[in-house]
A and B are shown apart, each in its own frame.
Chain A
Amino acid sequence: MTDAPFVTSRAELHPLRRAWARVTVGQTLIWLALGAGAWIAVFPYIWMVSSSLKPTNEVYDADFTIWPKSFAGFENYHGVLFEQPYPLFLMNSTIVCLGILAVQLVTAIPAGYALAKLRFRGSAILLGTVIACLTIPINVTSIPLYLGLVKLSLLDTYFAMMFPFMVSVFAIFLFRQFFKGFPDSVIDAARVDGFSEIEIVIRLIVPSALPAIAAFSVFSFVAHWNDLYWPLIVVQSQEKMTATLSMMQYQSEFDTNYGRSFAAATVITIPMMLVFLFARRSFIRGITMTGVKG
């Protein structure tokens, strides 16, 4: 009984001492580096949102304050959303991204299923082609794609903006890998029960692939929302301008209302941040899946 207090005090001391032992110079430096890194990662956003709430003459003030000294947020955002064609730009971006995603899913899911579960001549060639194309960026093929669209007089259309991305070899490969793990016995049982192959895809495979579909969808949407290169090549009019492409105008002093410029930048960037925050796990899974190919 007498050594009971002693025992508890040692038990109390132990985690404290252990925690103290872990506080070394190295650990402290690592924490400082992580803190500084996180600040650098986030500060541009803080600065952007803060500036979007400021009047022009305050944006470049020598003494930067996070909260504006005179609040101009309402005017800035009102200007972006009601006086400038930003609703149109955002709508164009949304139409293009959703259009691309829809076609990508409709073409990649059946192809991925066939490559994973069905035997047919040429499947090895098709899979090899898909893997080879994984490394080919749009920058290599942009000239013939552009010339083809010029010949068909399709420049400055939603179709032109979507066309090069309508098949995602990455999605085909991703779904093929995912479907490979689906048990054959379940598919055979469904066939015995009289399911057609299309029904198997729609009623068995797609529901089982929802996590992969979600991961790819977020990945694809964000990638094409942020794309500058291809819209810069095929978009010619204000009517088809995407939100990201509109950022090009600011380089040439298009808007000397700095507060409003950064309100526009915020309006374009925030949707992707929200998509990421809400679908963080899917998004990161999509990224890591790119690392396990081959």
Chain B
Amino acid sequence: MSAARGSLARRRALLAYALVAPASVLILLIYIGPIIAVIFASLTDYTLVRDGFSFVGLENYTAMFADEAFANALRNTVIYAAFFLPGAFFISLFLALAIQSRKKFRSVLEVLFFLPVTSTLAAMALVWAALMDSRQGVINNTLTSFGLEPVNFLGDPGFVLAALAAISLWSIIGFNMVLFLAGLTAIPRNLYDAAAIDGADHPVDRFFRVTWPMLAPTSVFVAVTTSITAFKLFDTVAVLTKGGPARSSEVFLYLTFLEGFEYFNMGYAAALSVFFLGLIFVFALIQTLLSDRRINS
């Protein structure tokens, strides 16, 4: 009996391995192998242009931190993020709060705000470039009709990062709004009733006493994923500016792409990728720490 059960358990374990085998092999080939390989490659001077390579230790990393292009890309990414992150967080939160209580129009508004999330950003980038056109674009026509100076949004080094941030905001706000809406729906109604008994019946009181603390896990998730998204800015740069004008929109991921797939400096581009991996690790750590603190308090 126990032998039969033992063999049954063994058969079931074998079957479990068969079920997870395809996925496990692919995870090894697509994630684990390449992550080890990219760390390994970052310690070499490998370029695709010639065969063979030698180990250079941490040379790629010292070169990276001394590289003016890397500093420029990092600076551009941070400036872009400074435009992008507050809007991506607070506008989405505002929209979620504003539409969650509406019975009428709620689903219509949800669809309208969400539409940009599904759209092909590479195609819509062309539309935005036309809207932002320095001479004949709809936005500049509107500005001049109010008596303002026209702005060369994508051609002016002082404006290009803000303009790219605006396009990114357009494409991500609906996504974050849906996450916030899900978080808001999960807050139990009776907490609001309890707060009302305690005298918090003004909407602002209710927000700070109940909504904001209860929404914290969602907020942390949105803040962390949006921060990583800010470092992944690529499509609009590749389609519209190619890093220009005068490298003022050459952001981190675009620089990595150029080094790897235009100049084929694989060792150096690998070091940049590892830097990105480290950054993601830090963000994941922040998320874990913040959500742990929430649970303990």
Contacts and interface: CB of A to CB of B under 8 A. Distances in A.
Co-complex (A, B): yes
Interface of A: 30, 33-34, 37-38, 40-45, 47-48, 51, 59-62, 64, 106-108, 110-111, 113-115, 118-121, 123, 126, 129-130, 133, 135-137, 139-148, 150, 163-164, 166-167, 169, 172, 197, 201, 222, 225-226, 228-229, 232-233, 243-245, 247-248, 250-251, 258, 261-262, 264-265, 268-269, 272-273, 275-277, 280, 283-284, 287-288, 290-292, 294
B120 interface: yes
Given A37-B95, A139-B232, A291 B179 contact: yes
B148 interface: no
Interface string B113-127: 111111111111111
Contacts of A261: 126
B260 A142 contact: yes
Contacts of B37: 143-144, 147
B182 interface: yes
A148 B37 CA distance: 10
A169 to B, nearest CB: 7
Contacts of A291: 179, 182-183, 218, 221-222
A121 B13 contact: yes
A111 to B, nearest CB: 4
B120 A47 contact: no
A290 B224 CA distance: 13
Given A250-B126, A291-B183, A44 B131 contact: yes
Shortest 7 CB-CB contacts between residues of A and residues of B: A167-B26, A144-B37, A141-B34, A111-B23, A110-B19, A60-B136, A144-B34
A38 B112 CA distance: 6
A120 B17 contact: yes
B5 to A, nearest CB: 13
18 contacts: A33-B94, A34-B99, A37-B91, A44-B170, A113-B19, A114-B19, A135-B228, A135-B280, A141-B30, A169-B27, A226-B118, A226-B120, A228-B239, A229-B235, A268-B123, A272-B119, A272-B120, A290-B179
B234 A118 contact: no
Contacts of B35: 136, 140-141
Which applies to chain A's interface (DSSP): helix, strand, loop or mixed?
Answer: helix
Contact of A139 (B48, B114, B273): B273
A60 B140 CA distance: 12
Contacts of B31: 129, 133, 136, 141, 167, 169
B119 A273 contact: yes
A113 B18 CA distance: 12
B159 interface: no
Contact of A166 (B30, B126, B235): B30
Contact of A47 (B115, B127, B178): B127
Interface string B141-164: 100000000000000000000000
A170 B78 CA distance: 28
B41 interface: yes
Interface string B8-20: 0000110111011
A121 B126 CA distance: 52
Contacts of A264: 123
Interface string B72-96: 0000000000000000000100110
B24 interface: yes
A200 to B, nearest CB: 10
Contacts of B127: 44, 47-48, 262, 265
B141 A38 contact: no
Most A Cβ at <10 Å: residue of B48, B127, B170, B280: B127
Nearest to A250: B126
Contacts of A273: 115, 118-119
Nearest to B260: A143
Given A44-B124, A269-B120, A287 B38 contact: no
A64 B131 CA distance: 11
B56 to A, nearest CB: 16
Given A51-B130, A64-B141, A291-B221, A228 B270 contact: no
Nearest to A30: B98
A143 B270 CA distance: 7
Given A44-B128, A47-B131, A247-B125, A118 B12 contact: yes
B55 interface: no
B22 interface: yes
Contacts of A164: 30
A107 B21 CA distance: 9
B152 to A, nearest CB: 15
Given A140-B273, A291-B221, A42 B118 contact: no
A62 B260 contact: no
B71 interface: no
A205 B144 CA distance: 61
A167 B30 contact: yes
